[in-house]
């Protein structure tokens, strides 16, 4: 078993998840819970399910073996931060200010107050790629204490770890926490920019009381969501995992086809999904049996209009409309399985194990639960393709239990049936 940068990446992943979940909620996509339909949460629920004649053929959910995971911390309120400064006059200063806003970096200004390295540092911001967000708008709190003698402690909400060793070389600080995780950062007169991956793409900003944080151009979550939506961008971190490789293998320009079953143990219901995505269009056929009735429903998105379609009587309703460029540019995030793959590939905190499923060994990646995302276990075939996905809603569960979803992936390729995007035969009510 290999643990990836456990403490630091778990802390930062929790922060990034808050940003992602806020984005998904703003876009009307599904953020939590086993997928009961692939439409965004903003869609109204429909009345009784229509009857159909043909029942989908499905297979039983696989048996799994036990494993251990550790829950990630929940989040609480964070300290207030100061606003970013106004841009300086002139084209050169404006260009430099725009660069600051993009990178979230500090301005090299003359410093009048000197701070010792030892002291208490409070988290005031988090950077993910080109977005820098205030910690208080994410309701997270973290305290970093560097004591004399090269020791200290670090808290993230209610989770705490000791720092058996820290050191400073010129303007670089290196911090080692209790589990052996190491992170380095830049030290600037009472401010530490802690670089989690060592790439500059994911940073945690800490400051001593009285340190000048005004050079940091930080946005609130609402401002970042609005900026992402206007740009059509989404965070895109690659943690180098098999899960990330699955996501990277998708090419929306060629089309995405996904066929899978999901067994919802709490409902004892087996659902079958057939998903086709191409040219901004999203088609998801869900089949399941409810109280002896065979239910089929299609979620269809095109040009910002989302429909619920019923193949049994060729009727449908316009469920909702959206002008969100994130959803229009990334309709694949409407599918719950693809969304979980996308979210987990951002995390540097996961465990690699081998799991026996129905008598066969599968390489697995286990992503522990957080306050926003349940535990996710991705199981891979020998060629790296995704075979199963186990989604546990119960953070105390060591094995799939009464609230788990077990996904069996049959196909994930670019074989899209474009004829399914023609819904002219449906009567839209």
> What percent of the chain stands above pLDDT 70?
64
Beta-ladder partners of 335: none
Check pLDDT > 90 for residue 140. no
Please check whether residues 167 and 266 belong to one and the same domain. no
User: Confidence band (pLDDT; 50, 70, 90) for 8?
Assistant: low
**Least trusted range by pLDDT, from 4-13, 230-239, 292-301:** 4-13
Angle, CA 409 vertex, CA 403 and CA 415 arms, to 5°:
140
Please check whether residues 255 and 330 belong to one and the same domain. yes
Give the pTM. 0.54
| The predicted structure's pLDDT at residue 9 | 54
In a domain, 14, yes or no: no
Specify the DSSP element, H or E, that contains 163: strand 159-163
CATH number for the domain harbouring residue 331? 2.50.20.10
Mean pLDDT computed over 239-264: 93
Please check whether residues 169 and 280 belong to one and the same domain. no
In a domain, 10, yes or no: no
Listing DSSP states for 29-83 in one string gives ---SSS-S-SS-TTSPPPSSPPP-SPPPP--PPPPB------PPPP-------PP
**Least trusted range by pLDDT, from 121-130, 230-239, 328-337:** 230-239
Q: What is the mean pLDDT of the chain?
A: 74
Please check whether residues 346 and 242 belong to one and the same domain. yes
In a domain, 81, yes or no: no
| The predicted structure's pLDDT at residue 73 | 36
Check pLDDT > 60 for residue 55. no
For strand 191-195 and strand 427-428, is the pairing parallel, antiparallel, or unpaired?
Answer: unpaired
Mean pLDDT computed over 376-386: 96
Check pLDDT > 80 for residue 203. yes
**Least trusted range by pLDDT, from 218-222, 243-247, 288-292, 371-375:** 371-375
Check pLDDT > 60 for residue 3. no
Residue where a domain stops, chosen among 217, 248, 272: 217
| The predicted structure's pLDDT at residue 151 | 95
In a domain, 350, yes or no: yes
Please check whether residues 343 and 208 belong to one and the same domain. no
**Residue whose entry in the numeric block shows the structure tokens 């950062």:** 185
Please check whether residues 241 and 199 belong to one and the same domain. no
Distance CA 100, CA 107 (A): 8
Check pLDDT > 60 for residue 41. no
In a domain, 380, yes or no: yes
| Number of domains the chain is built from | 2
> What percent of the chain stands above pLDDT 90?
37
Please check whether residues 208 and 289 belong to one and the same domain. no
User: Confidence band (pLDDT; 50, 70, 90) for 168?
Assistant: very high
**Least trusted range by pLDDT, from 114-118, 309-313, 402-406:** 402-406
Asked if 61 and 408 count as a contact pair (C-beta separation under 8 A), the reply is: yes
Check pLDDT > 50 for residue 154. yes
Please check whether residues 368 and 257 belong to one and the same domain. yes
Mean pLDDT computed over 99-108: 39
Please state at what angle helix 221-231 crosses helix 6-27, rounded to 10 degrees: 70
Q: Which domain holds residue 117?
A: 91-217
| The predicted structure's pLDDT at residue 19 | 52
Check pLDDT > 50 for residue 317. yes
Mean pLDDT computed over 141-155: 93
Please check whether residues 163 and 251 belong to one and the same domain. no
Residue where a domain stops, chosen among 162, 191, 217: 217
CATH number for the domain harbouring residue 164? 2.40.128.280
In a domain, 15, yes or no: no
In a domain, 99, yes or no: yes
Check pLDDT > 90 for residue 199. no
**Least trusted range by pLDDT, from 4-13, 291-300, 390-399:** 4-13
Residue where a domain stops, chosen among 217, 249, 277: 217
| The predicted structure's pLDDT at residue 201 | 59
Please check whether residues 401 and 290 belong to one and the same domain. yes
Side-chain half-sphere of 382: how many Cα atoms within 13 Å?
A: 2
Distance CA 105, CA 107 (A): 7
Please check whether residues 285 and 388 belong to one and the same domain. yes
Please check whether residues 325 and 415 belong to one and the same domain. yes
Q: List all residues 6 or more positions away from 267 whose beta carbon is below 8 Å from its beta carbon.
A: none
User: Confidence band (pLDDT; 50, 70, 90) for 15?
Assistant: low
Mean pLDDT computed over 283-295: 84
User: Confidence band (pLDDT; 50, 70, 90) for 348?
Assistant: confident
Check pLDDT > 80 for residue 260. yes
């Amino acid at each position: 078993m290999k643990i990836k940068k456990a403490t630091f990446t778990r802390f930062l992943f929790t922060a990034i998840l808050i940003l992602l979940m806020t984005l998904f909620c703003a876009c009307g996509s599904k953020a939590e819970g086993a997928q009961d339909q692939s439409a965004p949460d903003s869609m109204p629920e429909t009345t009784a399910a229509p009857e159909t004649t043909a029942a989908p053929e499905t297979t039983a959910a696989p048996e799994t073996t036990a494993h251990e995971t550790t829950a990630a911390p929940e989040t609480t309120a964070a300290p207030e931060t100061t606003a970013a400064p106004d841009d300086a006059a002139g084209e050169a200063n404006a260009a430099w200010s725009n660069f600051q806003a993009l990178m979230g970096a500090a301005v090299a200004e003359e410093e009048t107050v000197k701070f010792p390295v030892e002291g208490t540092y409070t988290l005031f911001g988090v950077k993910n790629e080109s977005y820098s967000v205030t910690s208080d708008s994410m309701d997270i709190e973290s305290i970093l204490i560097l004591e004399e003698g090269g020791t200290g402690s670090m808290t993230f909400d209610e989770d705490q770890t000791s720092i058996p060793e820290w050191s400073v070389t010129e303007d670089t600080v290196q911090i080692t926490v209790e589990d052996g995780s190491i992170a380095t950062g830049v030290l600037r007169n009472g401010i530490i920019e802690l670089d989690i991956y060592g790439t500059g793409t994911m940073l945690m900003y800490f400051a001593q009381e009285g340190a000048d944080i005004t050079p940091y151009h930080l946005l609130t979550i609402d401002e970042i969501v609005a900026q992402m939506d206007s740009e059509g961008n989404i965070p895109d971190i690659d943690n180098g995992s098999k899960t990330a490789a699955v996501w990277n293998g998708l090419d929306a320009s060629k089309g995405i086809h996904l066929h899978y079953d999901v067994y919802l143990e709490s409902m004892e219901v087996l659902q079958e999904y057939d998903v086709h995505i191409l040219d901004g269009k999203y088609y998801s056929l869900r089949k399941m049996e409810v109280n002896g009735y065979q239910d089929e429903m299609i979620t269809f998105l095109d040009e910002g209009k989302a429909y619920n379609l019923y193949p049994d009587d060729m009727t449908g309703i316009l469920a909702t409309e959206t002008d969100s460029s994130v959803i229009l540019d990334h309709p694949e995030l409407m599918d719950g399985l693809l969304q979980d793959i996308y979210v987990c590939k951002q995390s540097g905190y996961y465990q690699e194990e081998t799991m026996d499923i129905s008598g066969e060994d599968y390489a697995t990646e286990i992503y522990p639960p957080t306050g926003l995302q349940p535990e996710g276990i991705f199981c891979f075939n020998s060629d790296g393709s995704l075979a199963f996905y186990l989604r546990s809603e119960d953070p105390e569960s060591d094995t799939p239990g009464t609230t788990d979803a077990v996904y069996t992936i049959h196909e994930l390729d670019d074989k899209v049936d474009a004829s399914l995007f023609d819904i002219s035969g449906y009567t839209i009510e």
